Amino acid sequence: MIFENPNPREIAQAMQQNAAPDTLFVVMVAENTPLDVAQLMTALNETTCQYIGGIFPKLIFDDKLLNLGVIVTQLKGLQKIHTVRGLADVSYALEKHPEVLGSDYCVFALVDGLASGISGFLSELYRSYGSEIRYFGGGAGSLSLQQAPCIFSREGFLEDAAVYCLLNQTTHLGVKHGWEKLGGPFIATKTNANIVEEINWKPAFEVYRELVEADSGASFDSQAFFDIAKGYPFGMVREGSECIVRDPIAVNEQGHLICVGEVAENTFLNVLKGKIDPLIIAAGQAAAEAADQAGKPTAAIIIDCISRVLFLGDDFEREAKAVSIALRNKEIDPTIRGALSLGEISSFGEGFLEFFNKTTVVGLFE
Amino acid sequence: MSGGTLQTIFSLYELSMAIGKSLNYRDNCDHFMKVFLSRKMLKAGWIVQLHNNRLRLRYAIPGPYRPKEEVDMDFIHGLLNENKPVCVSVNKRVKDICPVPVSGGFIIVFPITNDSILSVHSPRNEPWSSVELRQLDPIIRKFGVSLKASADYEEQKLLTKRLERNNNDLNDYAHIVSHDLKSPLRNIHSLVQWIEEDLDSDEPKKAATHMPYIYSSLEKMDSLISGILRYSNLRELQESLVKTDLNKLIDEVKSMLLVPLGVQIVIHEMPQVRADRLRMSQVFQNLMDNALTALKRSGDCLEVGYKDLGSHYEFYVKDNGPGIAKAHQEKVFQVFQKLDADSTKSGIGLAIVSRIVEDHGGQIRLESREGEGAAFYFTHPK
């Protein structure tokens, strides 16, 4: 369901018509949409629908980018919706699922993308549900990068929180980013959650600037930090797999680099560089990877990082098309829809659960 | 230096710097294992330790499923005796010693101390090379040393806590003797004086009216002395805790309780735990008995259940009775703190519960709002 001029009652009615006890509605709202989320929640709470939702910078429907509107996706096999408040508080523990779950289960999670403690939350999720099930989701929030309530469920309209639910639904995932190594290796010798203070025992910005200015030919003195940095993220190195990207979005007065997502102290980093074509190809590969395993999915969701759009500019349409074409080539029926996010979540039994940046994740739900 | 060598050095550096980030055993494991799992693309990791000829699962991520009693001891002994890292393909025998489900790939076993091993599950189809194992071996052993330090620190913390508690208990005893016992004694003294005066005035009937008050004060003193004896006789936990089926244990406790007419007791399916059985029985008996005394209306309900929080269980005993006023909540676990004026109660039950829970390595807390019931939660390590 897509609502280009959304009205809370209209959305609630449409959802109610399709409601079933084990149906989860994922409600994605573009942040500039003239819609009162409180009113939307009031309308939804009057229905029997089980829902989770988030505010995202932009939405995707098929190969189109939407600045305004609401997209609702139905998923089957809902077991239970959970809410975690206070992600920054490291002391909480999630209830462990009592049985061993296999690949026919998926946890769908939306988190406040600007919260600190997302990695800790994902670790707890992994501890609770194990290594065999699928994990899918992303970070909600505003492109202004100001933290504010951005995820919602019957529990409320929340910030610094996560909502997640267990689905008894076979899910096929694809995840790729396409960023390539420019320089490194480096060690993030001093960090504080999502702030990289020192690299190789020197102020982080000094090391980063030297490498990036030399490659780009641009100067951080004459251009806004993110205008240049959006093309040069960090990569946390993993063996035998694409690295985990961390997006430096700002530099503070002390010369520390502020990232989306945590960077642990003494992390082994490379500085990456984006090229338009490899990024677009990677997004298509993520879709193809999911489609290769899928049978007859009933829903197709994409969570794509907003900073890819900021880097690709008008070329992002080509990325959206590459995803759409990859799915059509495999005769995947449902139209892909999703959100441009502040961080992405995906795991399909290949290893530990991580929070990604600048990455495309595609989920096909049977 | 080649790119590959440099990358290996940086990887090993990152891993070695993730060691010893916390003196808390679990946090120390978490820090290291998350980096190890993430960077090496591993699916699971766990640590087992031989302790008093028993195998203890000290840590696992994801959370463990397999009860540790089922582990094949001979196989573990064999791995420990090797005293070097071993990479074995996942087969039935290997699967049987894994506390989490594994399929395909390899299990890599590292000795971390002379009585502990760390195992990880790699889903990769190729075995780890001997070079890779040799490079990681000293780092994992260093991790083992830091875990030993964490374990020692936690043990020391526990001993300090017990010492503090014993000091507090001594203060409490002094208070009990100087105040709680002296108060009924003073009452008896006054009452005896009045009886003497009444008898001197030849008023034996009037004198007899004081007798029930004397008995009441004696009852109170008896209850206090019994309470002191019960609390001070609370023996230390047995060194080897036994596998305890809490369903059976709670059934036995329930059969000993006086359940008011119309009050419902709901017991959810409970797990098996390692515990001092008698002490654990005292915990549930005191908590359930405590709740039942608050339940008087038909339809009132007492509920017992638990949550699995990965490394530990959280048990609860809830009731929908009148609840406990906020002012009393902080004191309920202190010795001889009674919430009502019933002179037959010693006010020792919850102090005993708290002590047993702590002795098992858990913590207890109360959540209550007046008029909305009370819920006691306590944790118990797996």
**Is residue A95 over pLDDT 90?**
no
Q: A214 and A102, same structural domain?
A: no
Cβ contact A351–B42 (<8 Å):
yes
Q: Which of A102, A110, A41 is nearest to A75 (CA)?
A: A110
Domain with A48, as residue range(s), is: 2-176+278-365
* CB–CB contact B39 A237 (8 Å): yes
- Is residue A117 domain-shared with residue A234, that is, in the same domain? no
A167 and A184, same structural domain?
no
Residues A39 and A83 in one domain: yes
Is the Cβ–Cβ distance between B309 and B380 less than 8 Å? no
Lowest average pLDDT, out of B160-164, B279-283, B338-342, goes to B338-342
pTM for the whole thing? 0.81
Q: Which helix (H) or strand (E) holds A126?
A: helix A118-129
Q: Do A352 and B65 touch (CB under 8 A)?
A: no
Asked whether residue A166 falls in the same domain as residue A66, the answer is: yes
Between chain A and chain B, the number of residue pairs with CB atoms below 8 A apart is 97
Calculate the average pLDDT of chain B. 84
User: Residue B15 is part of which domain span?
Assistant: 3-151
State phi, psi for A303 to the nearest 5 degrees: -120, 115
A352: distance to nearest CA of chain B, Å? 5
Using a CB-CB cut-off of 8 Å, the residues of chain B touching A181 are: none
Judged against a pLDDT cut of 80, whether residue B4 lies above it is answered with no
Asked whether residue A91 carries a pLDDT value surpassing 60, the answer given is yes
- 8 Å CB contact of B17 and A268: no
Domain-located, residue B289? yes
Residues in chain B, overall count: 382
Average pLDDT over residues B38-67: 84
Q: Are residues A140 and A287 in the same domain?
A: yes
Encoded tokens for A168: 């008894």
For residue A239, what is the nearest residue in chain B, using CA coordinates?
B40
- Measure in Å the smallest separation between the Cα of B45 and chain A Cα atoms: 10
- The shortest CB-CB distance from A266 to any of B6, B7, B14 is to B14
Residues of A in contact with B307 (CB under 8 A): 95
Mean per-residue pLDDT, B361-365: 89
pLDDT of residue B343: 46
Residue B347 above 70 pLDDT?
A: no
Residues A145 and A47 reside in one and the same domain? yes
Q: How much of chain B, in percent, has pLDDT values that exceed 70? A: 90
Contacts of B39 in chain A (CB under 8 A): 236-239, 268
For residue B226, tell me if it sits in a domain: no
User: For residue B2, what pLDDT is reported?
Assistant: 57
Q: Which residues of B touch A (CB under 8 A)?
A: 6-7, 10-11, 13-14, 17-18, 30, 34-35, 37-44, 61-63, 65, 100-101, 121, 123-124, 307-311
Nearest to A239 among B30, B35, B39 (CB): B39
Out of A94, A123, A187, name the one closest to residue B34 (CB): A123
Is there a contact between B123 and A95 if contact means CB atoms under 8 Å apart? no
Residue of B nearest to A266 (CA): B14
Q: Is A100 on the interface with B (CB under 8 A)?
A: yes
Which of A273, A308, A341 is the last residue before a domain boundary? Answer: A273
Q: What is the average per-residue pLDDT within A26-54? A: 94
Q: What secondary structure does DSSP assign to A42-59, as a single string?
A: HHHHTSS-EEEEEEESEE
- Is A126 near chain B, with CB under 8 Å? yes
Distances (CA, A) of B288 to B61, B161, B302, B377: 34, 27, 8, 12
Task: Please give, rounded to a whole number of angstroms, the shortest distance from the CA of A269 to a CA of chain B.
Answer: 9
Last residue of a domain, which of A223, A242, A273?
A: A273
Arithmetic mean of pLDDT, A235-250: 90
Least confident piece of the model among B61-70, B238-247, B313-322: B61-70
A-chain residues near B123 (CB < 8 A): 349-351
- Whether residues B62 and A349 touch (CB distance < 8 A) is answered with no
> Which residues of chain B have a CB within 8 Å of the CB of A118?
none
For residues B18 and B119, membership in a common domain is answered with yes
Question: Burial of A193 by CB count in 10 Å (0-12 exposed, 13-18 middle, 19+ buried)?
Answer: middle
SS3 per residue for chain B:
CCHHHHHHHHHHHHHHHCCCCCCCHHHHHHHHHHHHHHHHCCCEEEEEEEECCEEEEEEEECCCCCCHHHCCHHHHHHHHHHCCCEEEECCHHHHHCCCCCCCCCEEEEEEEECCEEEEEEECCCCCCCHHHHHHHHHHHHHHHHHHHHHHHHHHHHHHHHHHHHHHHHHHHHHHHHHHHCHHHHHHHHHHHHHHHHHHHCCCHHHHHCCHHHHHHHHHHHHHHHHHHHHHHCCCCCCCCCEEEEHHHHHHHHHHCCCCCCCCEEEECCCCEEEECHHHHHHHHHHHHHHHHHHCCCCCCEEEEEEEECCCEEEEEEEECCCCCCHHHHCCCCCCCCCCCCCCCCCCCHHHHHHHHHHHCCCCEEEEECCCCCEEEEEEEEC
Task: Name the β-bridge partners of A25.
Answer: A51, A74
Question: Which of A122, A131, A182 should we substitute to test contact with B (largest number of B Cβ atoms within 10 Å)?
Answer: A131
pLDDT tens per residue across span A154-211: 999 999 999 999 999 999 999 999 999 999 899 999 999 889 999 999 999 999 999 9
Q: Are residues B278 and B138 in the same domain?
A: no
Residue B329 predicted with pLDDT over 60: yes
Q: What is the mean pLDDT of residues A256-283?
A: 93
**Among B110, B136, B151, where does a domain finish?**
B151
User: Minimal CA–CA distance to A218: which of A263, A273, A257?
Assistant: A273
Is residue A108 located within the same domain as residue A213? no
CB pair distance less than 8 Å for B41 and A350: yes
Rounded to an integer, what distance in angstroms lies between the CA atom of residue B258 and that of residue A302?
Answer: 59
Supply the pLDDT for residue B233.
66
Using the Cβ of A131 and the Cβ atoms of chain B, whether some distance falls under 8 Å is answered with yes
Which of A273, A296, A326 is a domain's end point? A273
Q: Give the model confidence (pLDDT) of B212-221 as tens digits.
A: 888 888 887 8
Q: Do A237 and B10 touch (CB under 8 A)?
A: yes
Whether residues A169 and A236 share a domain: the answer is: no
Of A96, A268, A351, which is closest to B308 when you measure between CB atoms? A96
Q: Which residues of B touch A94 (CB under 8 A)?
A: 309-310
pLDDT for A302 beyond 90: yes
| Domain's final residue, options B122, B151, B180 | B151
User: Could you give the 3-state DSSP secondary structure of residue A239?
Assistant: coil
* pLDDT tens digits along A180-193: 999 989 999 999 98
The CATH code of the domain that includes B359 is 3.30.565.10
Give the closest-approach CA distance of B51 to chain A in angstroms: 25
Question: Element (H or E) spanning A315, and its range?
Answer: none
Q: Are A322 and A246 in contact (CB under 8 A)?
A: no
Strand, coil or helix: what is A351? coil
Over 80: is that where the pLDDT of B75 sits? no
- So what's the pLDDT on residue B140? 95
> In chain B, what residues touch A101 (CB-CB under 8 Å)?
none
Indicate if the pLDDT at residue B270 is higher than 90.
yes
Q: How far is A300 from chain B (nearest CA, A)?
A: 26
Token reading at A133: 């099930």
Query: Is B214 inside any structural domain?
Result: no
A191 and A265 Cβ atoms separated by less than 8 Å: yes
A34 has a chain B CB within 8 A of its CB? no
Cross-chain CB nearest to B38 (options A96, A187, A238): A238
Residue B65 above 60 pLDDT? yes
**At residue A197, what is the residue type?**
E
Q: Judge whether B175 lies within some domain.
A: no
A269 and A290 within one domain: no
Task: Look at residue B163 in the predicted model and tell me its pLDDT.
Answer: 87
Asked if A352 is an interface residue toward chain B (Cβ–Cβ < 8 A), one would say yes
Domain count across chain B: 2
> What DSSP string runs through A56-114?
ESEEEETTEEESS-EEEEEES-EEEEEEEE-TT-TT--PPPPSS---TT-EEEEEEETT
Q: Does A128 contact chain B (CB < 8 Å)?
A: yes
Distance from CA of A74 to the nearest CA of B (A): 29
pLDDT in tens, B175-201: 767 766 777 788 889 899 999 999 999
Count of domains for chain A: 2
Taking the Cβ of residue A349 and every Cβ of chain B, the question of whether any pair is shorter than 8 Å is answered with yes
- Indicate if A257 and A129 belong to the same structural domain: no
Whether the per-residue pLDDT at B68 is higher than 80: the answer is: no
- The answer to whether residue B350 sits within a structural domain is yes
Min CA distance, A129 vs chain B (Å)? 7
Query: Where is the domain boundary, B151, B170, B197?
Result: B151
Chain A residues whose CB is inside 8 A of the B124 CB are: 240
| A290 and A246 part of one domain | no
Mutant choice from B7, B26, B30, B39 vs A, greatest count of A C-beta within 10 A: B39
Strands across the sheet with A106-112, in order? A78-85, A161-167, A106-112, A134-140, A344-347, A355-356
Residue A155 has what DSSP assignment?
T
